[in-house]
Amino acid sequence: MQIYRGHVLVCAGTGCVSSGSRKVKAEMEKQLEAFKLEQEIKVVETGCHGFCEMGPIVIVYPEGIFYCQVKSEDVKEIVEEHLLKGRPVKRLMFKDRITEEMVPHYNDIDFYKKQNRIVLRNCGFINPENIKEYIARGGYEALAKALTEMTPEQVIEEVKASGLRGRGGGGFPTGLKWGFARAAKGDKKYVICNADEGDPGAFMDRSILEGDPHALIEGMAIAGYAIGADEGYIYVRAEYPLAIKRLKIAIAQAHEMGLLGEDIFRSGFNFKLNIKEGAGAFVCGEETALIASIEGRRGEPRVRPPFPANKGLWGKPSNVNNVETFANVSKIIAKGSQWYASMGTEKSKGTKVFALTGKVKNTGLAEVTMGLTLREIIFDIGGGIINNKKFKAVQIGGPSGGCIPEELLDLPIDYDSLIQAGAMMGSGGLVVMDEDTCMVELARFFLNFTQLESCGKCTPCREGTKIMLDILERITKGEGKEGDIELLQSLAETIKSTALCGLGQTAPNPVLATLRYFRDEYEAHIKEKRCPAGVCSALTSYTILEDKCKGCTACARVCPVQAISGEVKKPHKIDSSKCIRCGACMETCKFSAIIKK
Amino acid sequence: MIIKTAEDLKKVKEEALDEATARINDGTQIMVGMGTCGIAAGARDVMAKIMEEVGKRNLKVAITWTGCIGMCEKEVLVDVIRPDSKRITYGNVTPQVVQRIITEHVINGNIVEDYVVGKLDK
Amino acid sequence: MTMSINIAINGQKLTVPEGTTILEAAKQIGIEIPTLCHLKDTNEIGVCRVCVVEVKGARNLVPSCITKVTEGMEITTNSPKARKAREMVMNLILATHPKDCLTCDRNGDCELRTLADKMGIRKIDFGAPVKDLPLDDSNPSIIRDSSKCILCRRCVSVCNEVQKVSAIGLINRGIGTTVGTAFDRGLADSPCVFCGQCVSVCPTGALTERFNLREVWQALNDPDKHVVIQTAPAIRVSLGEELGEEPGTIVTGKMVGALRKVGFDKVFDTDFTADLTIMEEGHEFLQRLTEKGKLPLITSCSPGWVKYVETFYPEFLDNVSSCKSPQQMFGAIIKTYYAEKYKIDPAKIYTVSAMPCTAKKFEANRPEMNSSGYRDVDAVLTTRELGLLIKEAGVDWASVEDSQFDQPFGEGTGAGIIFGSSGGVMEAALRTLSEVVTGKELKNLDFKGVRGLEGIKEAEVTLNGQTLRVAVANGLANAKKVLDGLKNKELDYHFVEIMACPGGCIGGGGQPRPSTPDTKQKRMEATYRADKGLPRRKSHENPAVQEIYKEFLKKPLGEKSHHLLHTSYTPRNK
């Protein structure tokens, strides 16, 4: 056996690949050869570490030194200094945002310190294209346990007792769902994985697929055993080519080792998996639309009941869970429901992966125990707001969720607290917004998204979201009318209670949440024709302060539409009718003579 | 191979763990001083010997390396850190000494006192 | 065993069988919940959401049309929340719907407008711009006005499920969703068979037949034109519905009287050529049977079916009878035999046909339908248009007196009348075949095995010791089943009748709306009542038929017949 004293982990998640990790890996191999270290140090391609902003990420084991934003030019130094001479390269380490000190170890970085990585336990640590690395981490032990020591009913009971709830949005208890599918009569049943991750900014499912595909496969096989299914489908969007490639490799390896296929662990249980590539419509994340899409029909939801548990794929009982949900299962079976249920809040157990984006310093994926507060996630893990601006709100749950204002920052997050606050867990997108965000514009942005993604099947979603969007557009253009707020409210409530599927029922959430917490901003737009955040261009104007203007002409030169005039060394003026509110003048002015109103 | 029992799985796991020792390890650690001084004194050969011995005996040992620790005249320096015991630093280590350190200390837990230059609490 | 479910609607307790929907349960206690997209057994998808009601414990409102009751369910149909939601949903539908109701084809029988009235909508909110989408008038039969479409999807369900034609489907998504053909090329360039079932179920003016009334009026007003009209068997049992009669009323005499008042020079009965069809088709069948020709023989009276087989099953074209449909035979005979006999210049004859069908408009337009030297049929009116023609002419239906069809084509038999119902052509053929083959008089004329609304009917008939297996299919999904069965050799018949529309012509795409299973049943019963009441019930006994063979055609399948009464088919692209 070839033994290596060191492993260099190069992240090959989509984020790092796009920031250049392939080049880094090639250079690493070249340099190791140049220093004759190729027999001592092994290069391992891993999945995502979650800290994508800092990519490409390279971690050197056994010490676990964490390098970030590594460029191929840096590789020689890592090899010569660290791998050969044992002197870790400080300048490539993560620099703490507050202390400004270099943090060599991955576990000491604030971004990771407060995390509790269960679902992401292997992401960034193992080579996802090598099943043995997954097995080395205890992989497939849960499947062995379920198949050889437990009855399907016991598996379901265990999942029920763990308190695991669906991580895709609704938060329906997973064990209960499995129980329905188990109880349904049918000669053939299916397990379906919803990997149609569609919330803008959310990428936890992709990371699991890319970084730890066997965790999903194992979870699905356990689910198959529990409900009595011998076949599964993974519905993954075609925009995730790397995830699909790794999944295919993983499925093939699991088959080769007999972990998928016939008579697994001599238990008589058969299970095979198919991959179905979806075209990436948001609505196909809704389970009935997803099933329609697998069947080759138009991706549209249908009325439930009948639920997929009774009438799913090809009319057969089917169980649909998302990637993150399945990825929890093997740990629950291996370590027991009690262990899992010991984490989290009363009704939300375990952890949740959040995709932290927006105006926050550390963006990326963070897996935290349920019940952590928003403040801990945004300020401790996320490192606070970029440029130390003021926090305004955070949008949780993507376009179907809602925003949560500053006064609720200490809210412990779980499924129920978020619903109460007018947001929802959704798939776990967290978009952080600073003081420069206009909340009306934000609502318009998200509604525009859902409106475009509406399948058009039911009236309220198809017609109603368009009318709501038209109203919001009017308001942001300064054409809001008395009564618009009430009309928005009433439309939102009707759509919520009458739309056919979850997409429609939750589409008004961003509007309802912003109305709840930032009604004054709507009123300012409508009544005072003013955008308090200075975002809505129709409601903003730039003015030159005569007493501060030195007449340097810099602003006039930079203005793309010649809206600024004036003689040299004399105060200039902006012609508001020509101005396109691009803000270039204000950025250029060295004397802070231009203000935005 | 085809896995048919929990035992099969365990075997595959053990093999896989051997390959991944550098990453997954909470046992003994051997650390070699690889500063310029160490390399000049023959640290690369020492390292090669350690790897050979560890590989040959299929030991679950993490091999790490460090830069100059400031006892250049005693290079090559090798530290052995066993769980639940002091960190032992050996000096003037040659490939021959490596063999003793591995068999006596790493495997059997008896410190090779002749070459010890320091004992540290971890 | 069906379980009983105990529920409460608006506080009133009731017990209904398992599987009952909230809508049906409410109806039982006299509460009508508004519906729009719902079409029982055909379009049960709950998409319009105008039927939502409140159910205790449910997170959201539920669509009553497809939600089945469960034990202990407490339903409130008129809670403020449900009423407000329904009203707003209706408003959302109306917001972008064109407001030209006064000139709309559906003025007077628009389901959307009736519902808006019933729901008390007196103001349309939102001020959204009205839909303005291009008109599809690419074909002679059906006009699609997507601007008036409310996306209830009834037409799509009918086309895809009932007819298995799938000419139309949904295009785009969200607010841009429309119903259209593949690549939105228009029905003319689609596999549409023009059966008009979509027109029949459309709740608005989005789907209508192409109006030919103007041309007919022009001909009627032209003193140089000799304008004749033929009326199909199936419209005498349905036209009444357009004029305020109950479904199933037989209005033959009144219809003839009214059409005379409208100003037609002659009012003829398509029954005559139905009988002629039996003579030709019956002999064609016997010829194939004795000369070991291609079997089964499949009927060709239904133009929607003919286009279907040309498009989807061209391998069966040799099985389809070469007989033209009765409408086309009529046109050809009028402009030849009739013109000669009555010394009228065929160029000055204008033939109108009144049909329960939209595909007949397409059929009359087929380029090969001019064996008389002229276009055989000049204009086709649906039952609905015929009703409108009578109304436009100012004829007071109530006071119209019964009148008789004109000779020489006013003679029809009961066999011709039952052409209007599924199984009728087969029954008429069997009546004649029995007597022609055995040479003995048939005692029991009722072949009940081929009657009824059932989709596929089979029967066996023994003639001179030979057992003939026959089948009758109505609705193209059923036709497809029969053809697939024949293709796989799972089925084996001698003679098959196929009608494109469910129920046959009484359920045709040109019939009065609504054309529900109940109204179809009543129309069907009426055709058999009319048959029973006639002295002559076998096609070969029709004296006018006997006369035309003597004077003009000489014999079935003869040279003149071949030229005027038969046709050929062409495979078409899907």
> Which of A368, A402, A427 is where one domain is finished?
A427
Asked if residues A103 and A111 have their Cβ atoms less than 8 Å apart, the reply is no
Q: Which of B4, B9, B23 sits opposite A125 (nearest CB)?
A: B23
Asked whether residue A204 falls in the same domain as residue A318, the answer is yes
CATH number for the domain harbouring residue A582: 3.30.70.20
> Which of C55, C74, C92 is where one domain is finished?
C92
Q: How many residues does chain B have?
A: 122
Query: Using alpha carbons only, what angle is made at residue A369 by residues A366 and A372, rounded to the nearest 5 degrees?
Result: 90
pLDDT of residue C463: 87
Asked if residues A221 and A261 have their Cβ atoms less than 8 Å apart, the reply is no
Count: domains in chain B: 1
Looking at A49-53, A507-511, C322-326, which range is the least confident one?
A49-53
Between these two residues, A201 and A320, which has the higher pLDDT value?
A: A320
Residue C489 lies in a domain: yes
Tell me: the pLDDT tens digits for C479-518?
A: 999 999 999 999 999 999 999 999 999 999 999 999 999 9
Query: Contact C47/A500, CB-based, under 8 Å?
Result: yes
pLDDT of residue B59: 81
- Which chain B residue has its CA at the smallest distance from A9's CA? B23
CATH number for the domain harbouring residue A401: 3.10.20.600
pLDDT of residue A297: 93
> Which of A385, A401, A427 is where one domain is finished?
A427
Average pLDDT over residues C374-395: 97
The shortest C-alpha distance from C414 to chain A (Å) reads 47
Residue B15 lies in a domain: no
pLDDT of residue A1: 61
The Cα A426–Cα A444 span in angstroms is 19
Tell me: the pLDDT tens digits for C290-314?
A: 999 999 999 999 999 999 999 999 9
Asked whether residue A179 falls in the same domain as residue A75, the answer is no
Looking at the predicted complex, does its ipTM rise above 0.85?
A: yes
Residue B9 lies in a domain: no
Chain B CB contacts of A7 under 8 Å are 20, 22-23
Residue A114 lies in a domain: no
pLDDT of residue C99: 93
- Eight-state DSSP code of residue A368: E
Residue A1 lies in a domain: no
Looking at A347-351, A386-390, A561-565, B28-32, which range is the least confident one?
B28-32
* Enclosing domain of residue A355: 351-427
Q: Which of A195, A143, A153 is nearest to A332 (CA)?
A: A143
C-alpha distances in Å from residue C3, one per residue of C6, C7, C71, C167:
10, 13, 10, 41
CATH number for the domain harbouring residue C377: 3.40.50.1780
pLDDT of residue C208: 97
The Cα A159–Cα A172 span in angstroms is 12
pLDDT of residue B109: 84
DSSP 3-state assignment of A195? strand
Asked whether residue A203 falls in the same domain as residue A280, the answer is yes
Residue B2 lies in a domain: no
> Which of A341, A365, A399 is where one domain is finished?
A341
- Which residues partner with A349 through β-bridges? A344
- Eight-state DSSP code of residue C514: P
Asked whether residue A200 falls in the same domain as residue A226, the answer is yes
Q: Which of B1, B15, B54 sits opposite A257 (nearest CB)?
A: B1
CATH number for the domain harbouring residue A298: 3.40.50.11540
Looking at A14-18, C468-472, C528-532, which range is the least confident one?
A14-18
pLDDT of residue B56: 82
Residue B98 has pLDDT above 70, yes or no: yes
The shortest C-alpha distance from A452 to chain C (Å) reads 6
Chain A CB contacts of B25 under 8 Å are 62
Classify each residue of A38-74 as buried b or exposed e, where b means 16 or more C-beta atoms within 10 Å of its C-beta. Answer: eebbbbbbbbbbbbbbbbbbbbbbbbebbbbbbebeb
The shortest C-alpha distance from C177 to chain A (Å) reads 6
CATH number for the domain harbouring residue B83: 3.40.30.10
Residue C154 lies in a domain: no
Asked whether residue A386 falls in the same domain as residue A457, the answer is no
* Enclosing domain of residue B104: 25-120
Asked whether residue A313 falls in the same domain as residue A206, the answer is yes
Residue A39 has pLDDT above 70, yes or no: yes
A249 and chain B: CB distance < 8 Å anywhere?
no
CATH number for the domain harbouring residue C13: 3.10.20.740
* Enclosing domain of residue C468: 214-565
- Which residues partner with A432 through β-bridges? A358, A394
Tell me: the pLDDT tens digits for C18-44?
A: 999 999 999 999 999 999 999 999 999
Average pLDDT over residues A465-478: 96
The Cα A218–Cα A201 span in angstroms is 27
> Which of C92, C123, C151 is where one domain is finished?
C92
Tell me: the pLDDT tens digits for C545-559?
A: 999 999 999 999 999
Chain B CB contacts of A137 under 8 Å are 24
Q: Pairing state of beta strands A6-11 and A261-264?
A: unpaired
The Cα C318–Cα C483 span in angstroms is 13
The Cα C569–Cα C321 span in angstroms is 10
Tell me: the pLDDT tens digits for C223-251?
A: 999 999 999 999 999 999 999 999 999 99
pLDDT range class, residue B35, cuts 50, 70, 90? confident
C-alpha distances in Å from residue A304, one per residue of A184, C40, C53:
15, 18, 16
Residues of C marked active site are found at 281, 284, 301, 321, 360, 363, 368, 505
Q: Which of A5, A86, A87 sits opposite B22 (nearest CB)?
A: A5
Count: domains in chain C: 2
pLDDT range class, residue B26, cuts 50, 70, 90? low
pLDDT range class, residue C5, cuts 50, 70, 90? very high
Q: Which of B23, B55, B67 sits opposite A7 (nearest CB)?
A: B23
Amino acid at A165: R
Interface test with B, best of A85, A141, A149, A257 (most B CBs within 10 A): A85
Query: Contact C151/A456, CB-based, under 8 Å?
Result: yes
Chain A CB contacts of B4 under 8 Å are 258, 265-266
> Which of C30, C61, C92 is where one domain is finished?
C92
Residue A520 has pLDDT above 60, yes or no: yes
Residue B25 has pLDDT above 90, yes or no: no
- Eight-state DSSP code of residue C399: G
pLDDT of residue C276: 96
Residue B98 lies in a domain: yes
Asked whether residue A523 falls in the same domain as residue A555, the answer is no
Asked whether residue A301 falls in the same domain as residue A193, the answer is yes
Average pLDDT over residues C75-83: 96
Residue B58 lies in a domain: yes
Tell me the average pLDDT of chain B.
Answer: 84
Query: Contact C89/A470, CB-based, under 8 Å?
Result: no
C-alpha distances in Å from residue A327, one per residue of A137, A169, A405, C118:
14, 15, 31, 53
Q: Which long-range contacts (CB under 8 A, 24 or more apart) does A180-183 make?
A: A180/A307, A180/A309, A180/A310, A180/A319, A181/A227, A181/A228, A181/A229, A181/A308, A181/A309, A181/A317, A181/A318, A181/A319, A182/A152, A182/A153, A182/A156, A182/A226, A182/A227, A182/A228
- Burial degree of B34 (CB within 10 A; 0-12, 13-18, 19+): buried
- Restricting to B residues 56-115, those with a Cβ less than 8 Å away from any Cβ of A are 58, 62-67
Between these two residues, C301 and A363, which has the higher pLDDT value?
A: C301
Q: Which of B4, B13, B63 sits opposite A5 (nearest CB)?
A: B63
pLDDT of residue B122: 55
Chain B CB contacts of A62 under 8 Å are 22-23, 25, 29, 62-64
Chain A CB contacts of B17 under 8 Å are 136
Structure tokens at A483: 């009564």
pLDDT of residue C1: 64
Chain C: list its partners (3+ Cβ pairs within 8 Å).
A
- Which chain C residue has its CA at the smallest distance from A465's CA? C175
The Cα A267–Cα A492 span in angstroms is 52
Amino acid at A324: E
Structure tokens at A592: 């802070």
Cβ within 8 Å of residue B104, ≥6 positions away? B110, B111, B112
Residue A350 has pLDDT above 70, yes or no: yes
Tell me: the pLDDT tens digits for B54-95?
A: 888 878 888 888 877 777 777 888 989 887 778 888 988 989
Angle between helical axes of A213-227 and A241-256 (0-180°, round to 10): 60
In this structure, the number of other CB atoms found within 10 A of the CB of residue C572 comes to 14
Chain A CB contacts of C85 under 8 Å are 494, 497-498
Asked whether residue C243 falls in the same domain as residue C380, the answer is yes
Residue C303: in which H helix or E strand, if any? helix C303-312
The shortest C-alpha distance from C413 to chain A (Å) reads 49
Query: Contact B16/A4, CB-based, under 8 Å?
Result: no
B5 and chain A: CB distance < 8 Å anywhere?
yes
Looking at A192-201, A206-215, A509-518, C397-406, which range is the least confident one?
A192-201
Average pLDDT over residues C539-547: 95
Asked whether residue A451 falls in the same domain as residue A416, the answer is no
Residue A120 lies in a domain: no
Chain C CB contacts of A456 under 8 Å are 151, 170, 172-177
- Which residues partner with C198 through β-bridges? none
Query: Contact B9/A144, CB-based, under 8 Å?
Result: yes
- Restricting to A residues 426-485, those with a Cβ less than 8 Å away from any Cβ of C are 451-460, 462-467, 470
Residue A2 has pLDDT above 80, yes or no: no
Count: domains in chain A: 5
Asked if residues C40 and C33 have their Cβ atoms less than 8 Å apart, the reply is no
CATH number for the domain harbouring residue A477: 1.20.1440.230
Residue C135 lies in a domain: no
Tell me: the pLDDT tens digits for A535-555?
A: 898 888 889 999 999 999 999
pLDDT of residue A112: 87
Classify each residue of A191-224 as buried b or exposed e, where b means 16 or more C-beta atoms within 10 Å of its C-beta. Answer: bbbbbbbbbebbbbbbbbbbbbbbbbbbbbbbbb
Residue C537 lies in a domain: yes
Q: Which of A528, A540, A555, A533 is nearest to A596 (CA)?
A: A540
Asked if residues C65 and C46 have their Cβ atoms less than 8 Å apart, the reply is yes
Q: Which of A174, A213, A210, A172 is nearest to A191 (CA)?
A: A174
Place of tokens 């300048």: A91
Amino acid at A544: I
pLDDT of residue A108: 81
Tell me: the pLDDT tens digits for C61-71?
A: 999 999 999 99
Q: Which of A42, A86, A144 sits opposite B6 (nearest CB)?
A: A144
pLDDT range class, residue C427, cuts 50, 70, 90? very high
C-alpha distances in Å from residue B50, one per residue of A505, A580, B58, B95, B112:
64, 70, 12, 8, 15
Q: Do chains B and A touch (3 or more CB pairs under 8 A)?
A: yes
Structure tokens at B77: 């320096």
Tell me the average pLDDT of chain C.
Answer: 95
pLDDT of residue C74: 97
